[in-house]
Amino acid sequence: MTRPSRFTARVALVTGAAQGIGRAVALGFAAEGARLVVADRSPLLEETRAQIAALGAEVEAVTVDLEAFAGAQALAAAATARFGAIDILVNNVGGTIWAKPYEHYAETEIIAEINRSLYPTLWGCRAVLPVMLAQGRGVIVNVSSIATRSIHRLPYAAAKGGVNAITASLAFEYSGRGIRIVATAPGGTEAPARRIPRNGAQRTVAEEAWYQEIVDQTVSSSLMKRYGTLAEQAAPILFLASDEASYITGVTLPVGGGDLG
C-alpha cells in the first residue's frame, strides 16, 4: 500500500537500483512523491529510470562504480547538481558473488566480496554526510543481510557485519546532528533471475550443492519457512526512510521472516 505524499519533494538517492530490491525501493519512492537519483553500474539502470519517469516522478540516473570513493563523490555531486539536496540515501549495492565453504575461497575472491558488499556503503555514507550536515537533516538507510549468521558466504557475511557496524557507529556520531542512520537486513528474497549475474561462471556440481545448502538453511532459519518478496523488502526500507520512523536510529531491522541473522 503506497502513500502518495509520504516523500513529497524529498530527494531520495538509491544505489544498486538497476534490479531487485533497489529497483523496487526506487519505484516505491517515486510512487510516494519523491524526486529520485538512481545509481548502478549496469546498463539496466535505464529501465529503472524509464519506469520512474512513467510514474511522473523527476529522476536522474547515474551510471557509476561505487566500489571507489570517487564514484560515490561523483554520485553525490550529480544529485546536488540536479536537485540541490540529498534528503535520503539508500545504500543497496552488494550481494554474494560466490557461495562455498570458506576453505575454498581464493584470496582474490575474498577481496572482491568485501569490495562489492562493504565499500559501496562505506563510501556512500562518507560522500553524502557533508551535504546532509550542511542541510541539518538527512536519513541514511543501509541494506545489510541476515547472512551475517549463515553458511558458505563468510566474506559476504563479514562485509555485511561491517555494514551493521557502520550503521550503529554513524548513528552515535550524527543522530544528534539531524541525521538518522538505520539499516534493514533482508533474508532470502524471491526475485526474478538477475539478467546480469554477479558471477557469470557456470557453477560446478559442488557449487550447485553448496548453493542449495544456503537455500535450505535460509528457509529452515526463517520462522515462516519461506522466502520474502521484493515488496516485503522494500516496504521496511521506505518506512525507515520516512518521518514515521523519526525516533528510530542506529538499529538494523531483520527482515527475514523471523530469522534475526
Q: Give the mean model confidence (pLDDT) for residues 9-25.
A: 97
List the catalytic residues: 156
Q: For 119-135, what is each residue's pLDDT tens digit? A: 999 999 999 999 999 99
Q: For 69-90, what is each residue's pLDDT tens digit? A: 999 999 999 999 999 999 999 9
**Amino acid letter, 171:** A
Lowest mean pLDDT among 5-19, 187-201, 240-254: 187-201
pLDDT of amino acid 202: 83
Q: How would DSSP label each residue in the chain?
A: ---TTTTTT-EEEEES-SSHHHHHHHHHHHHTT-EEEEEESSTTHHHHHHHHHHTT--EEEEE--TTSHHHHHHHHHHHHHHHS---EEEE-----S--S-GGG--HHHHHHHHHHHTHHHHHHHHHHHHHHHHHT-EEEEEE--GGGS-SS-HHHHHHHHHHHHHHHHHHHHHGGGTEEEEEEEE-SEE-PPPSS-S--SPPPHHHHHHHHHHHHHHHHHSTT-S-EEHHHHHHHHHHHHSGGGTT--S-EEEESTT---
d(CA 162, CA 167): 9
Q: For 178-197, what is each residue's pLDDT tens digit? A: 999 999 999 999 988 766 66
pTM: 0.96
Helix axes 230-241, 20-31, angle to 10 degrees: 50
Q: Return all residues near 28 (Cβ < 8 A) that are at least 6 apart.
A: 2, 234, 235, 237, 238
pLDDT of amino acid 197: 66
Q: Where are the domains of the chain?
A: 11-255
Number of Cβ within a 10 Å radius of residue 200? 7
Residue range 11-255 forms a domain whose CATH class is alpha beta
Q: For 204-248, what is each residue's pLDDT tens digit? A: 999 999 999 999 999 999 999 999 999 999 999 999 999 999 999
